[in-house]
Amino acid sequence: MSDHTMQPASEHLLEVKNLTTRFYTEDGVVHAVNGISYTMDEGDTLGVVGESGCGKSVHALSIMRLIPVPPGKIEDGEVIFRGRDLLKLNEDEMRRVRGAEIAMIFQDPMTSLNPVKTIGFQIMEALKLHQGMDNAQARERSAELLDLVGIPEAAQRLDDYPHQFSGGMRQRVMIAMGLSCNPSLLIADEPTTALDVTIQAQIIELVKRLQHQLGMAVIWITHDLGVVAGMAKRVNVMYAGHIIESGPVKLIYSNPRHPYTVGLLGSLPSVGARRAKTLFAIPGEPPDLVGAQKGCPFAPRCTYKVERCPYEMPPIEEIEPGHLVACWERDKVRKPQ
């Protein structure tokens, strides 16, 4: 797309620096995101993997500035999108970024759509607001968008309500809404978790095709390591609000160097492989993020733990080109076999 080529090649599309988000709740301060940094280029696909409560969704909501304030607060950091720090914009300016430049789709396509408005109304709303279209133009464009995401008889279905669509179809509608203003970044927060595998495969193919057609960058947030393997170019593995490992997808899967990543990959049975005797299970439970953390959050569950781990958080450092790991014992950590 034309506006993409105007960017100087050296500049990243998105640069997140030391992003820190906390929630001030009655039970204490929840340290949801703890100083994460990464960059993304135009057209990239970044997978963000982690278990529930690891901060992957909060990080995305922080980028979009959709954190409910209070109790949430973005404490620190910068989110530089095309040279502008989104965290410094006022609410009006931010509203022009959301939807128009960065779009987001959510896990549950039922609760993300308004049940008492037609699908057409909901897609047209953004077009009229962001692009100043009149009714007829917006309607025509909405039909095009539904067609683009593979909904048959798109023009007729504009007058249908969300309950007349199946789960997979609703997620397609959400994607159409996300794409309505040609964003250069699409953040997908577990978009296929609520869907069946055959429908999930449809949605993944759709996003891949659209990305190819429209040249947008995608952040795909998921807990499913299989989805990331087929989707992403780079992966950030998150644990307790930290990025603990980051790198090109093939390196993360073939040469994981953080004990958590190794454990996560080991705990999966594979459809493609023969049966292992027992699964490798990471002992213990993910930590509670209430209260200040000290040391590496994975230390209580870690089999590579050394003396300093519970006291000092290891910095995230590059161990081979593009592959970053935050672990004191990273030189010893290896995938089994």
Partner 1 sequence: MTIENSIPSEEVHSQEVILKVENLKKYFPIKRGVFRHRVGDVKAVDGVSFNVYKGETLGLVGESGCGKTTTGRTIIRLYEPTEGQVDFQGVDLAKLTGAELRHTRRKIQMIFQDPYASLSPRMSVLGIVGEPMEIHHLVKTPNERKERVAELLEMVGLDPAFMNRFPHEFSGGQRQRIGVARALALNPDMIICDEPISALDVSIQAQVVNLLEELQAKVDLTYIFIAHDLSMVRHISNRVAVMYLGKIVELTDRETLYTNPLHPYTQALLSAVPVPNPEIEEKRQRTILEGDLPSPAHPPVGCNFNTRCPRAFDHCHVEEPPMIEVEPGHFCACHLVQPSK
Quick one: CA dihedral 88, 186, 287, 257, positive or negative?
negative
For the segment 157-216, give every residue that binds partner 1 (CB under 8 A): 166-169, 196-202, 204-205
How far CA 129 is from CA of 63, 123, 254, 297, in Å, comes to: 21, 11, 46, 44
Contact call for residue 227 and partner 1 (CB under 8 A): yes
For the segment 78-137, give every residue that binds partner 1 (CB under 8 A): none
Give the whole-angstrom CA distance, residue 216 versus residue 183: 7
Which listed residue (1, 279, 290, 306) binds partner 1 by CB under 8 A? Answer: 279
For the segment 17-76, give every residue that binds partner 1 (CB under 8 A): 51-52
- In the complex with partner 1, the residue whose CB is nearer, 81 or 165, is 165
Work out whether strand 72-81 and strand 14-25 pair parallel, antiparallel, or are unpaired.
antiparallel
Nearest to 244 by CA among 51, 81, 77, 106: 51
C-alpha torsion 107→113→115→121, nearest 10:
-160
By CB under 8 A, how many residues form the interface with partner 1? 48
Structure tokens at 14: 């998105």
Interaction mask 250-269, partner 1, x per CB under 8 A: x--xx--------xxxxxxx
- In the complex with partner 1, the residue whose CB is nearer, 117 or 250, is 250
- In the complex with partner 1, the residue whose CB is nearer, 117 or 209, is 209
Structure tokens at 317: 């450092």
Give the whole-angstrom CA distance, residue 28 versus residue 74: 16
Q: Are 107 and 170 in contact (CB under 8 A)?
A: no
- In the complex with partner 1, the residue whose CB is nearer, 180 or 202, is 202
Which listed residue (9, 116, 136, 281) binds partner 1 by CB under 8 A? Answer: 281
Binding site for partner 1 (CB under 8 A): 51-52, 166-169, 196-202, 204-205, 223-230, 249-250, 253-254, 263-272, 274-276, 278-283, 285-286
